[in-house]
Structure 1
């Protein structure tokens, strides 16, 4: 989709609304032509000539023109709405269509967060398009009315008005491309800064534990300074916009005043001079100011929004609909993995080698801020290692497509996400889609659908019972009850997220302190449910009892890490003994190790 395509289609496809817009624009622009004429006639033919009734009559004509303009403005807004609302619907259809096709290509459910972000761009495009139509139309009709009005007053005055206007428009047009580039660069700089800040906040514990505050601050400071530099550039270009408004809107006033003696010698009256100044001050300058503001801000927003929509909502090419193969099994290998938050920062994870065979149950323990969540993020693909490789089923995480990653692993963080919707939607969001018999006959389709719904309900019951949220599901009103995240406690949100992960197809489950808001008994039940579910379970331990339930333990001690069974770690790791409250190694431990 090009930027111009939806704009031209929106205008051409609705000729009735376009004709209505143009017709009512004449009424709205009535003061642009009448104002100067009414003032000039009221002065020359009325008050200056000793006929106040005539003067008041011309002022009444001006008042009637403003009433007509008010009625026209209302109808103009309705006509613009008739153009921009279908334009918005067209963009939304493109967004949904592109999202669904990309979801079909990747084998995943549509990314609701991405759709929400694109919907925001659609709303920006709709508002900006309406504003651009309004200001461009108003400017053209106002200039036409002013030019015609000045010409009927005195043709010699017309160049004094139109030549500065043309110069101001040229100056503004020359600055517009640079202004558009600066506006786009500012948007991108703001996004980079937001991304850097988000990454810093996500790793704040690790940053603090490693004493890398200054280094990370310097790194974020680079993005902040870049954003400030672009903002200063845009401010300078905004000054050019102000100059163009002064040249096109206010220089005509100065030229008319300077030329007044010459105009009077050519027959100009006081009414002609005052009427011309009225045209400029009351119609031309406001119209030019609206154009400069509308094209300089809303025009850039419109183009930027359409570019983003075009870049992310087009259908994927046919070749992209082939699903990329996923990993064979979910054996996890970390080979020489190193990661640091920021250039020059001390590594949070250094030269980590780890193998987690399929079906293993690993607990990751260590002091707060030591890097446990960083390891989980590296395994999940949320972070990329600075060195080394993370492989799932023999495939590097960075080389796996999104569909394969979601089939391979699921990560539940400490702050569980629950969205507005039914409890069923929240629980089955990551579950496999099941065929409803697309090629079956209607009677068979109904039977298959009913069977699938019964199967899904039974699976939900088993998962809810296993994880331990039966009472919560009952209290909320069942699977079809609407869920308000704000009314749930942190522990209740964690139970919902845990059940969602339990129902997912992923064979590698990462629980990053995902049970920290549950009581010890509920935490034990949830972890035991995942251990019995099959697949591989990695628990970032909130309580050390998680280590006692695991088959193996990964102890993180600074940038070093070692793994083994609970008994092996008690014997070999002083830190693990400290964490467990045991301050001496078992007898004979040193001899065995």
Structure 2
């Protein structure tokens, strides 16, 4: 919990100070409660006293009638005590309900005045917790006070020596509990706060698990959750350590008197204490004092701090009960602040697209691979071996090669999603993987990720602050999303990922990457569901984006023709250069270009359709997305078809590295 804490005790604005003021304002109700408690206490006094006199004057003296009469007096005391208990509950209700009404007024006024999103929770749950806990505290405190008074008066009436044996350990136990009450309350509050922070954090994490997985933030989020769990564990251990003192106070104040009465019984009988008085003293301790002390320790020790926390949140102001004089900021309530952030994000203008990752000096390459080697298992053959490559800043690089040759693997290594077996990867001068290098790149895979929400929320996912609408619309126009954006109804329109085509999802992901602050953009076949014209527009948008290094894992040879440099991957070998150079030097590249050239006149490139189509067909939604004039494109017999013009060797899409 952040913010300044209200003291539990002391001062007119503390919980105890306001509680005492509340009781003083209702002294007639407090007086009536005390009067009925005295009647109830008569039961405590007469039970032990009648039992002692019934034994001494009646049964032990051979006068059964007298003994039964005294027992009858005890029975009448039980009836009178039951009547007093019933009236006590009525007095407690008269004391508690005004507190509930005052808290409800505070919650409603604050909710209306401040548009508090947590007002409903405070009204329906926290107010009821405060009312029930306050009633319980009144009952246990009153019960112990009057029960102890009745029992001690009874012990003195039977024999002052009994009071001498019972009173000191009882006083020591109560004093020990009182000394540990404040530390226990603080640790109980710390435990409650730690538990609430876990609940609030998980409330934000669980709905965003897909986002976390898509962003590769599993480790960071797990570490944050682990920190909160560790904090709760430390608070629980501290509370348990101080809980030992609570058990000790019960042992000293409630159970030690029983041991002392039995141990000193011969001495007491020798000093004139009657057997009936000794039995009555045991009844006072076991039937009255010990249960009352247990209720006090457990009730006040556990519920007291809980009530203090709830009251501090429901009525955060100090001094007089003026709901308008709030002195604690909203962020002092973690549950409220997190809700406010999630449900009503503050929108403000962002003047430019200043990146949190300053551009590295020009002489530092955007990507530097040194003797890079990677295999998918300890005994597997390397997919990439001894690859050394330097990509200057601002370069447009296309990576081509047959399916399964390692193109996606290379993108994963550069992005830090995979760790090499040997060699190193540096991104803008920073070691990969690492948090700093991760902030300098954005990776868009073939299957684009879109979450339920508004278009602007999806497009601004990689920005730390809300994106101004003008910038968002400009990015959508540059990448080619603008027509769809108008069709959907603008940036604020809600979208359902299940109802979007694969091409529409790719356009959203591409615009999201364009709006990010990362200077290195990795497109791992991120345009495979777009037609050639839409693909070219998106790639040129990134190539013209200031300060951007673009790496495209290409599935069309046209992507390679547009690039400044091309990396041709052929098993354990790779060739790097521009289009003309590679046409002369690389037989594989000539074959890929030749395959594309012989088919380009008959049909545009058709990348594989989504693997999630169970029927083997995909309807084509609109121009700009892969299609053949709103006809149906059939898959091959294994669930996909390699279209002419793709840079593939007929291998399975799933086997791509």
Q: Identify the residue that residue 335 of structure 1 maps to in structure 2.
A: 354
Query: How far 1:587 moved relative to its partner?
Result: 9.8
Call closer, same or farther: CA 1:384–1:146 in 2, change over 3 Å. Answer: farther
Query: How far 1:348 moved relative to its partner?
Result: 11
Larger Rg: 2
1:197 counterpart = 2:202: yes
Q: Identify the residue that residue 536 of structure 2 maps to in structure 1.
A: 571
Query: How far 1:73 moved relative to its partner?
Result: 1.3
1:315 counterpart = 2:324: yes
1:323-402 equivalence runs, <5 A: 334-336=353-355, 350-351=439-440, 367-369=447-449, 385=464, 390=466, 392=468
The answer to whether the 8 Å contact 2:56/2:275 transfers is yes
Q: C-alpha separation between the residues in 1 aligned to 2:89 and 2:261?
A: 35
The answer to whether the 8 Å contact 1:332/1:391 transfers is no
Query: How far 1:287 moved relative to its partner?
Result: 0.9
Query: How far 1:309 moved relative to its partner?
Result: 2.1
The answer to whether the 8 Å contact 1:365/1:540 transfers is no
1:149 counterpart = 2:154: yes
Could you list the per-position Cα deviations for residues 139-194 of structure 1 after superposition, in whole angstroms to 9, with x for gaps in the alignment? 11111111111111101221211111110011111111111111111112112222
Q: C-alpha separation between the residues in 2 aligned to 1:349 and 1:371?
A: 22
Q: Identify the residue that residue 412 of structure 2 maps to in structure 1.
A: none
| TM-score normalized by the length of structure 1 | 0.61
Query: How far 1:273 moved relative to its partner?
Result: 0.6
Q: C-alpha separation between the residues in 1 aligned to 2:73 and 2:458?
A: 75
1:30-69 equivalence runs, <5 A: 30-69=42-81
Match of 1:86 among 74, 91, 98: 98
Query: How far 1:65 moved relative to its partner?
Result: 1.1
1:120-135 equivalence runs, <5 A: 120-135=125-140
| Uncovered stretches (5+) of structure 2, i.e. residues with no partner | 1-12, 330-344, 358-415, 418-432, 477-482, 542-553, 566-657
Query: How far 1:5 moved relative to its partner?
Result: 5.0
Give the 3-state SS of the residue equivalent to 2:212 in structure 1.
helix
Call closer, same or farther: CA 1:140–1:92 in 2, change over 3 Å. Answer: same
Call closer, same or farther: CA 1:253–1:379 in 2, change over 3 Å. Answer: farther
Q: C-alpha separation between the residues in 2 aligned to 1:536 and 1:38?
A: 80
Match of 1:175 among 164, 176, 180: 180
Could you list the per-position Cα deviations for residues 14-44 of structure 1 after superposition, in whole angstroms to 9, with x for gaps in the alignment? 3343232112111222221011111111101
1:275 counterpart = 2:275: no
| Uncovered stretches (5+) of structure 1, i.e. residues with no partner | 103-109, 321-325, 354-363, 396-408, 410-506, 511-523, 577-581
Q: Identify the residue that residue 530 of structure 1 maps to in structure 2.
A: 489
The answer to whether the 8 Å contact 1:193/1:223 transfers is yes
Q: Which has the higher helix share?
A: 1
Could you list the per-position Cα deviations for residues 439-466 of structure 1 after superposition, in whole angstroms to 9, with x for gaps in the alignment? xxxxxxxxxxxxxxxxxxxxxxxxxxxx
Could you list the per-position Cα deviations for residues 46-91 of structure 1 after superposition, in whole angstroms to 9, with x for gaps in the alignment? 1111111111111111111111122211211111011111101101
The answer to whether the 8 Å contact 2:454/2:495 transfers is no
Q: Identify the residue that residue 521 of structure 2 maps to in structure 1.
A: 560
Q: C-alpha separation between the residues in 1 aligned to 2:39 and 2:437?
A: 69
Higher relative contact order (CA 8 A, sep 6+): 1
The answer to whether the 8 Å contact 2:497/2:505 transfers is no
The answer to whether the 8 Å contact 1:189/1:226 transfers is yes
Q: Identify the residue that residue 95 of structure 1 maps to in structure 2.
A: 107
Q: Identify the residue that residue 231 of structure 1 maps to in structure 2.
A: 236
1:29 counterpart = 2:41: yes
How many residue pairs match? The answer is 432
Q: C-alpha separation between the residues in 2 aligned to 1:67 and 1:18?
A: 23
The answer to whether the 8 Å contact 1:101/1:316 transfers is no
1:182-581 equivalence runs, <5 A: 182-209=187-214, 212-311=217-316, 314-315=323-324, 334-336=353-355, 350-351=439-440, 367-369=447-449, 385=464, 390=466, 392=468, 528=487, 530-531=489-490, 543-544=500-501, 547=504, 554=511, 556=513, 560=521, 569-571=534-536
Could you list the per-position Cα deviations for residues 512-534 of structure 1 after superposition, in whole angstroms to 9, with x for gaps in the alignment? xxxxxxxxxxxx99974624xxx
| TM-score normalized by the length of structure 2 | 0.56
1:590 counterpart = 2:547: no
Q: C-alpha separation between the residues in 1 aligned to 2:294 and 2:140?
A: 9
1:19 counterpart = 2:38: no
The answer to whether the 8 Å contact 2:450/2:497 transfers is no
Q: Identify the residue that residue 456 of structure 1 maps to in structure 2.
A: none
Could you list the per-position Cα deviations for residues 373-427 of structure 1 after superposition, in whole angstroms to 9, with x for gaps in the alignment? 899659889x983xxx5554899xxxxxxxxxxxxx9xxxxxxxxxxxxxxxxxx
The answer to whether the 8 Å contact 2:447/2:506 transfers is no
The answer to whether the 8 Å contact 2:108/2:119 transfers is no
Query: How far 1:238 moved relative to its partner?
Result: 1.6
Q: C-alpha separation between the residues in 2 aligned to 1:23 and 1:175?
A: 31
